[in-house]
């Protein structure tokens, strides 16, 4: 089963994605984590992505589709993947669809974690105090929210047209939201 988690920065995709991966026994793949790790290790991918990420912009579609292809070529991805924030533009959605189709697969569900901008801003402020991520500073946060609004949110209609979108109200306790996720997946 292939599942995409969508939602603005700070919506809780990472937390719920980890729980879901555990309960379904599937690997979770987050492009944000992979890119941050590449930056930390100073790999060619990291060197390419660093400035773009720190400013809060989106990394190029071809780079993202390349890492998606690599990930899906791994044996542990054969039964499905929980994709956490991996598709953020229409060209990425189209590319992902092609890659999955070639494997006889499709995105079985797209979970949209719905949270207000106000809630996002206060969550990211708290996270910044704890994690000190370079891209949680106020200017980069504003750029990320803008990138989300302009480039990622059009995907909601794209996936809705393909009948795979499920909306999860994402304010509440971790357990409450996890229960909504299970319900949305019919489990």
Q: Which positions lie near ligand ADP, rule CB under 6 A?
A: 9-10, 31-32, 35, 52-53, 56-59, 64, 85-88, 92, 135, 144
Beta pairing, strands 109-114 & 28-30 = unpaired
Smallest distance, ligand ADP to C-beta of residue 104, A:
23
Which residue among 105, 127, 166, 167 is the active-site one?
Answer: 127
What is the C-alpha separation between 114 and 128, in angstroms, rounded?
Answer: 21
50 is known as an active-site residue: no
88 is known as an active-site residue: yes
Smallest distance, ligand ADP to C-beta of residue 28, A:
12
- Is 139 or 183 the residue whose CB approaches ligand ADP more closely? 139
28: left (phi over 0), alpha (psi -120 to 50) or beta: beta
Write phi, then psi, for 166 (nearest 5 degrees): -130, 125
36 is known as an active-site residue: no
What is the C-alpha separation between 35 and 44, in angstroms, rounded?
Answer: 11
Catalytic residues: 13, 88, 127, 133, 144
């Amino acid at each position: 089963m292939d599942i995409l988690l969508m939602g603005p920065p700070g919506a809780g995709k990472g937390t719920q994605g980890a729980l879901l991966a555990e309960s379904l026994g599937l690997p979770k793949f987050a492009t944000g984590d992979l890119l941050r790790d590449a930056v930390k290790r100073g790999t060619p991918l990291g060197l390419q992505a660093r400035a773009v990420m720190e400013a809060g912009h989106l990394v190029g579609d071809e780079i993202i589709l390349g890492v998606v292809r690599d990930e899906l070529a791994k044996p542990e991805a054969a039964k499905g993947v929980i994709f956490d924030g991996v598709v953020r533009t229409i060209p990425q959605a189209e590319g992902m669809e092609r890659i999955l189709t070639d494997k006889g697969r499709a995105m079985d569900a797209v979970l949209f974690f719905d949270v207000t901008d106000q809630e996002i801003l206060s969550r990211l402020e708290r996270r910044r105090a704890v994690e000190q991520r370079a891209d949680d500073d106020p200017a980069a946060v504003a750029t990320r929210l803008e990138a989300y609004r302009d480039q990622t949110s059009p995907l909601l209609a794209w996936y809705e047209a393909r009948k795979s979108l499920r909306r999860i109200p994402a304010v509440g306790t971790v357990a409450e939201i996890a229960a909504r996720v299970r319900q949305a997946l019919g489990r």
